[in-house]
Amino acid sequence: MYQYRFIKEEQYNQEHGVYTAYGICGYELAQNVMRETIYLPDVFLSKTVAERFVALCNELELSLVHLYDAVQDALCWETESSGP
């Protein structure tokens, strides 16, 4: 079983300075212990999009194998006015 959470981060780049981003952390339940398996930093700029993404991943019980593809698809949400 997998569970996903979003993590608020403070990032910096020379062009924009300091900005807030949200990373995605994936956990796997193994032997009754949740273990962090993957961390993708600086994925979303919108907290709302990060929350929706994580909720959908958890609801659909997304496998870690598909996380990168799901993130790429979800990045389109930030450029559209409506998400899933």
Per-residue confidence (pLDDT) for residue 13, from 0 to 100: 92
In this predicted structure, what is the pLDDT of residue 7? 97
Mean pLDDT of 42-70: 95
**Pairing state of beta strands 33-44 and 2-13?**
unpaired
User: Please, are residues 44 and 53 in contact by the beta-carbon 8 Å criterion?
Assistant: yes
What's the whole-model pTM score? 0.84
* pLDDT score of 65 more than 60: yes
Q: Per-domain residue ranges for the chain?
A: 2-79
Q: Is the pLDDT higher at 34 or at 11?
A: 11
Q: Please tell me the predicted confidence (pLDDT) of residue 76.
A: 82
Distance in angstroms (rounded) separating the CA atoms of residues 73 and 30: 28
Q: Which is more confidently placed, 83 or 2?
A: 2
